[in-house]
Amino acid sequence: MNLILLFPAEVSGDHVTLTDHRAEHVRTVLRSKSGDQLRVGLLNGPLGTATVETVARGSVSLRLHLHGSVPQPCPTALILALPRPIMLRRVLAQATALGVERIFLINANRVEKSFFQASLLRDEAYQAALIQGLEQAMDTRLPAVSIHQRFRPFMEDVLPAYLADYPVRLLAHPTASAPLPEVAPLPLAERAILAIGPEGGWVDFELDRFTACGFRPFTLGPRILRVDSAVPALLAQLELLRHLPPTAG
């Protein structure tokens, strides 16, 4: 937890009293005492600092100075074939820490149907993983997350509304022949949407539907990565393309 994230509803003026795991973190990990300064952020709002006023078992009160900037998300969206529950929590935290602005969790032929029964998907329980990603990366902006249990309705009724927002559309596909720098503009300056398939990859029908929507398939090479490596690897590669010098094309 590199940042203590505060929720608007719990803040009263420039004060907040924490009574949950954040209070425990301040007391036992940071070992803060009255007068210490902490890094804080307001959910979907500015970063700032807080002065510790009192520390007690189970309760920490802070005076807030929320005058920092509001972190900007990366102009990147992620379409992710729903991974198995044990991976989902980790991957949502990773993608959030890497700053994606939007995550579509979708079905695909090689996604096991039972994955959609994950308790993490009920009542937005996955929000805890997003919060963890924000606390890790010192960000305050929650990505928008949506869940799409049927592939065709997602491709036909949902995705088209977003295509104009994301002029660069990329699809990771193990058997594609082009590496990423051949299918992305160099340097990458526009908003991008990246689709990552299930273990075993996309099937031909899915590949066809994505390419019909302007997605360009690329390969990471012969190595097959687990989703908790593929997601940070690919998001970091896109981010790197945004920082190439102008001569890179």
Residues 6+ away with beta carbon under 8 Å from 44: 8, 70, 140, 141, 142
Show the site string, 183-222: x = touches a copy of itself by CB under 8 A, - = not. Answer: ---x---------------------------------xxx
CA distances from 217 to 5, 51, 86, 174 (A): 37, 50, 27, 9
Q: Can you tell me which of 43, 138, 183, 213 binds a copy of itself, judged by CB under 8 A?
A: 138
| Minimum CB–partner distance for residue 179 and a copy of itself (Å) | 5
Residues 6+ away with beta carbon under 8 Å from 152: 209
What strands, in cross-sheet order, belong to the sheet with 15-18? 4-6, 37-42, 47-56, 59-65, 15-18
Of 22, 30, 18, nearest to 54 by C-alpha is 18
| Residue appearing with tokens 């993490």 | 120
- Looking at the Cβ atoms of 32 and 237, the one nearer to a copy of itself is 237
Contact positions with a copy of itself (CB under 8 A) in 46-105 = 71, 90, 94, 97-99
Contact between 136 and a copy of itself by CB under 8 A: the answer reads yes
Q: Which stretch binds a copy of itself (CB under 8 A): 48-56, 106-114, 149-157, 225-233?
A: 225-233
Q: Which stretch binds a copy of itself (CB under 8 A): 58-66, 145-153, 209-217, 223-231?
A: 223-231
Contact between 139 and a copy of itself by CB under 8 A: the answer reads yes
Q: Which residues bind a copy of itself (CB under 8 A)?
A: 2, 71, 90, 94, 97-99, 136-139, 179-181, 186, 220-226, 228-230, 232-237, 239-241, 243-245, 247-249
